[in-house]
Amino acid sequence: MVVVGSYVVDLMSRTPHMPKPGETVLGGPFQMGPGGKGGNQAVAASRQGASVTMITKVGQDLFGEEAIKNFEQESIQTTYITKDEHEATGAALIAVDQHSENMIVVSLGACGNLTSEDVQQAREAFINADIILVQLETSIEAVEATINLANELGKPVVLNPAPFQDVRAEVLKKVTYITPNETEASLLTGITVHDEKTAKEAAINLFNAGIPNVIITLGKKGCYIYDGSDQGRLIEGFTVDAVDTTGAGDAFNGGFTTFIASGLSINEAAKRANAVAALSVTKVGTSPAMPTQKEVEHFLEREQVKES
């Protein structure tokens, strides 16, 4: 699998309340860790057993060195991670108050400078991959180059359209699977998605726009699938005690892409991806919270026992 996307360092601190303009607040504890949608999804996929090659860009700095070390520790191929000569490694500044509300400022830094040339240089990785996963947390140039190259080579491509940016209609038609959440599906279609009925309407809209497999994630409710074969269906989520929901969508996408590449049906891949997402919210953080393959297997076994 090839994952093309962002890498940023998450810099998080607890705070008793969100500071007002000009106010300094004493907070803590402080936590630093790997993040970014591309990096999170690559880790989620690798921990589910996928062989992953990451394509991103980091700075020539300590955070960039740590990024590569982290990917290597997760058994992710780093050959095509390039270093930007001018921009620093991206960072997310996160404040979390006592009610678990958060404020986040993301500076994409180097990964925002990912170019079509960077993508083309990884052509060999695309050739050897079973599937390609890309998000919108880099330049649109790199996203479109990724989708075009995958299409040229006959490789299925999963697009997680987050955070939302406009992608040309002719490029979207080349996507095999699209995985928006409720907000992104609303922005893509103009249909306000808030339940199963409106998810179906939006999914059909995207299918009619030329995308053959639409998966709209609905948080703890699960996900809605439409692939033209029937009237669509809701794949229910799992009930867990959530600690930190940050990164749940990334967990779903990394898991879903892995399971599709392994030959599972779209229904079964979505069900297992729901489990990956559910387990990820029971831990604090993004990449570090991604569950292992063994954890997911044990979780699904326990859920099956509950249902029987």
Question: DSSP characters for 106-156?
Answer: EEEEGGGG--HHHHHTTHHHHHH-S-EEEESSS-HHHHHHHHHHHHHTT--
SS3 270: helix
Structure tokens at 240: 């867990």
Is residue 283 annotated as involved in ligand binding?
yes
Q: Is 97 annotated for ligand binding?
A: no
Q: 274: annotated binding-site residue?
A: yes
Residue 97 among the catalytic residues: no
181 marked as binding residue: yes
Instruction: Determine which one of 118, 195, 241, 250 is catalytic.
Output: 250
Residue 217 known to bind ligand: yes
Q: Is 69 annotated as a binding residue?
A: no
| Distances in whole angstroms, Cα of residue 1 to Cα of each of 16, 25, 45, 155, 219 | 42, 43, 9, 10, 25
Q: What does the alpha-carbon distance between residue 5 and residue 44 come to, in Å, rounded to a whole number? A: 14
306 annotated ligand binder:
no
246 is in an annotated binding site: yes
Torsion 34-65-76-8 (CA) sign: positive
151 carries a ligand binding annotation:
no
Indicate the annotated binding residues for K(+): 244, 246, 280, 283, 285
Q: Which residues are catalytic?
A: 250
Indicate the annotated binding residues: 8-10, 36-40, 137, 181, 217-222, 244, 246, 249-250, 274, 280, 283, 285
Indicate the annotated binding residues for ATP: 181, 217-222, 249-250, 274
